[in-house]
A and B are shown apart, each in its own frame.
Chain A
Amino acid sequence: MKNKTKAPLFHITKRKMLPWHRRWFIRLIGILLSFVVCAIITMVMTGLNPVEVASSLVYGAFGTPRKCWILGQEVAILLCVALALTPAFRMRFWNLGGEGQILVGGLACAACMILIGDKVPNGLLIFIMLVSSVAAGAAWALLPAICKAKWNTNETLFTLMMNYVGIQLVAYFTIVWEVPKGSGKIGIINQNTNAGWLPQVGPSKYFLNILIVLALTVIIYIYMRYSKHGYEIAVVGESENTARYAGIKVGKVIIRTLLLSGALCGLAGFLLVGGTNHTITTTIAGGRGFTAVMVAWLAKFNPIGMIFSSLLLVFFSQGASEISTAFSLNHSFGDILTGIILFFIIGSEFFINYRIHFRKS
């Protein structure tokens, strides 16, 4: 027997629900602390003045109107993918195939532009591009969904593997359609005719994308919150047994929801290829299929919150590019700072839910 009578150094208890202002207060402290840690790391690792680095970060994101528009466009695409994943994630279907679904959506879009770009009127062409992108994305998600619904296969692995199939497919068609031959690139499609390029609306060529995604945000918010479909998704996600008990056809809901999820990823591919880049490469999705997972989780699957979480992530990524050129640092340094800040934001959730009691000395 040990002869110990001391209480443990600390122990953890669950808190009751805190009022919203206390929750945001804790998050604010978390963010401020993360800035302090970032400043220390910056000084120790680079010897630079952290204030200068921080202002350069902000400049990189918001410095000029052009930078602002690019930021808005990047937020829009990332948000679009996060919105696409939301219904699936609420259903606890871990769709990690966003990357592949964006790529095949983009590929379908590019195929239309290349193959029928000069054969049909522009309005009709854009419509066909939209439909085929959405259908391609949906098809990419449909396969894992059917297997999950019928045989309860693991959707995480399945969707993940579909990404690689998508990448290889794009790689193959890049060679088929490469311009000029031997370059290994498709280059800008229809550069002279601009066939299939989304029209410029408002002050910037990026404005249309931003508008579309904003509208989509509201639609998904309403769909998840107030529609019968949204309710069914939530029930299936919580418990398939409960869903069956309530007479919900679980397989049907899984397939329907994944069609939606894939279709919206396909839409993101359409916006990327038709709206911004006018070309397709294997890296056009740029990891957004995965970054969007973080966007969705950070906002706890609330579409309105995702506007802010995607803005946060894009802000740091754009700012990081700027400091890497301005101070000739590696781009990874920006990623380190982003990582530190995310760590503190996620960590503050622990302090919102739990309380640590230290031994009274």
Chain B
Amino acid sequence: MNNHPAAVKMRNITKVFGSITANSEVSLDIRRGEILALLGENGSGKTTLMNMLSGIYYPDSGSIFIDDREVSIGSPKEAYAYGIGMIHQHFKLVDVLTAAENIVLGLKEEGKLDLVKAGQKILKICEDYGFEVDPKQKIYDMSVSQKQTVEIVKVLYRGADILILDEPTAVLTPQETDKLFAVLRNMRDDGKAIVIITHKLHEVEDLSDRVAVLRKGKYIGEMMTKDTNSQEMTDMMVGRSVSLNIERPKVENAHPRIQVKGLSVRSSDGILKLDDVSFTANAGEILGIAGISGSGQKELLESIAGLQKAEKGSITYIGDDGKETELLGLTPLAISEMGVSLSFVPEDRLGMGLVANMDLTDNMMLRSYRKGRSPFTDRKGPRTLAQSVVDELEVVTPGISTPVRRLSGGNVQKVLVGREISLNPTVLMTAYVVRGLDINSAYTIYRLLNEQKKRGVSVVFVGEDLDVVLALCDRILVLCGGKVSGIVDGRSAEKNEVGMMMTKLGGVRNEE
């Protein structure tokens, strides 16, 4: 594949945001007929670099050559003119329009808008590469992976032959990922240049022909994928040697802590989000919850935390003394007043777990500010706590008076997890706790969860990366469309089996 000339050459690209240098003197080649994996930890500047290629940012210095001609890309429109299209992590689709309408949106074609013709062209693209898109389907009726497909077709429809995909698998099941990869390979064989931004090593190994590594905004190196391995790539990514094994300490004297029976939850627009869910979470173990995103994970955790009204069912908390407390129907305040110490790291860190514009100290007191009868807040304790979280979890911040929105994703998460653990919980629920975190931060979080498990805390871990769920959790509850698809042992379960259970109730065994 080396004989292909470079379609894009980026030379000495630098981009600075305020005090942060996102990219520093980066040079990179992208070739046609090749899949390039752009690998790096969070905040290493992968997305920024590609955003400069797709016209969203403009480089402070450096130059971009397309087919050996120097170009200036000032807007996404100009990027399309050069055949560059990017599929972002967050989809940019209009919900109430159909696939075809979304695809032609913003295109200035001659003559009248002809959706029939557009539909035919869309189907032709689908046929060529093996997509499945119904041009007449509305976006709000689509699954996440269908929406992603629409995004890709949108880019192809505009004639892009240099495609950039920003963490495309973050929202997909293993089966959907396989399908996407097959399509990407088809496009590569058709001579398109493809860049995928990722921090998942097994995807790099599965899919890419060449891999380029960025670290802290700098270009570290590149190699042919077939000549490298996970350990080498990780070491390049992190800058030192790291162990890739997730610890799983043995479970000791586990006993029931939370018993959920027949829980059904309906969303405000009447959709059944949880349907007759029953399970037990034990103290001293990590219970994993796997499922396609939106299978009821959020509703399940929020019901236990007292944030979600349930239609029927019960959630019983069993204290160390055997005392049983019904949690369903209680507010978060009432739950904590009953002496149940429940910690919850929600999926939406800055929109629910923390207050983005407040500093570390004020965020530390979010759950404890009521203490004492004084009408005034006491910031002494929270300040000490903030300082100790910063020290112990190595949070990178200018100080404890910095608003948390200024911290990077990993550090935000450390602040949140640090606070929740400081409450001395008996139950610790986490939703997508390592999403978007770099390897170092993720391993810090795994270590903290394991420590809590050893302390006898009942840890509930909602995860999206099945490899992690399988390596970390003692038991795994698989949700499928709001129903319990099964509960498997984390030590013996197979990835494929769990993947099937996520898409189909009961998984493989049902088919037999």
Contacts and interface: CB of A to CB of B under 8 A. Distances in A.
B18 A15 contact: yes
A228 B375 contact: yes
Contacts of A15: 18
Contacts of A227: 375-377
A11 B52 CA distance: 13
B1 to A, nearest CB: 26
Interface string A117-156: 0000000000000000000000000000000000000000
B121 interface: no
B358 interface: yes
Interface string B283-314: 00000000000000000000001010000000
A247 B336 contact: yes
A8 B74 contact: yes
B4 interface: no
B224 interface: no
Contact of B376 (A228, A246, A357): A228
Interface string B367-378: 101100011110
A238 B357 contact: yes
Interface stretch (B177-185, B211-219, B347-355, B471-479): B347-355
A231 B377 contact: yes
Most chain B CB atoms below 10 A, which of A231, A248, A249, A357:
A231
Given A1-B82, A11-B58, A242 B354 contact: yes
B351 A235 contact: no
Contact of A1 (B18, B60, B81, B366): B81
Contact of A241 (B351, B362, B367): B351
A7 B376 contact: no
A14 interface: yes
A249 B333 CA distance: 9
Interface string B315-359: 000000000000000011100100000001010100111111110
Contacts of A249: 331, 333
B247 interface: no
B70 interface: yes
Contacts of A2: 78, 81
Contacts of B333: 247-249
B307 A244 contact: yes
Contacts of B51: none
B355 A239 contact: yes
B71 interface: yes
A227 B377 CA distance: 5
A234 interface: yes
Contacts of A244: 307, 332
A26 to B, nearest CB: 16
Contacts of A6: 72
B375 A7 contact: no
A20 interface: no
Contacts of B331: 247, 249
B375 A229 contact: yes
Given A15-B18, A227-B375, A228-B369, A245 B81 contact: no
A239 B58 contact: no
A181 interface: no
A241 B348 contact: yes
A235 B82 contact: no
Contacts of B305: 245
Contacts of A328: none
B346 to A, nearest CB: 7
B16 interface: yes
Name the prevailing secondary structure of the B interface residues: loop
Contacts of B344: 245
A245 B348 CA distance: 11
Interface residues of B, number: 41
A248 B344 CA distance: 16
A5 interface: yes
A4 interface: yes
A238 B355 contact: yes
A247 B71 CA distance: 55
Contacts of B78: 2
B3 interface: no
B366 A242 contact: yes
A16 B16 CA distance: 11
Interface centre among A6, A7, A8, A234 (most CB of B within 10 A): A7
Nearest to A236: B355
Nearest to A12: B58
Interface in A240-261: 241-242, 244-249
A228 B18 CA distance: 35
B19 interface: yes
Given A2-B78, A16-B19, A246 B367 contact: yes
A320 to B, nearest CB: 36
Given A8-B58, A229-B375, A246-B332, A239 B352 contact: yes
Nearest to B350: A239
B419 to A, nearest CB: 11
A247 B332 contact: yes
A7 B346 CA distance: 43
Contacts of B19: 16
Interface in A1-33: 1-8, 11, 13-16
A244 B333 CA distance: 9
Contacts of B357: 238
Interface in A163-192: none
A226 B16 contact: no
B366 A13 contact: no
A248 B72 CA distance: 51
Contacts of A13: 16-18, 60
A290 B375 CA distance: 31
Between A11, A246, A249, the greatest number of chain B beta carbons within 10 A of the residue's beta carbon is seen for A246
B348 A228 contact: no
Interface in B61-96: 69-72, 74, 78, 81-82
Contacts of A248: 333
Given A2-B78, A234-B362, A238-B358, 18 more contacts: A5-B70, A5-B72, A7-B58, A8-B58, A13-B16, A15-B18, A16-B18, A226-B377, A227-B377, A230-B377, A231-B362, A235-B366, A242-B352, A244-B307, A244-B332, A246-B332, A247-B333, A249-B331
Interface of B: 16-19, 58, 60, 69-72, 74, 78, 81-82, 305, 307, 331-333, 336, 344, 346, 348, 351-358, 362, 365-367, 369-370, 374-377
8 contacts: A1-B82, A7-B72, A15-B18, A16-B19, A234-B355, A242-B366, A245-B353, A249-B333
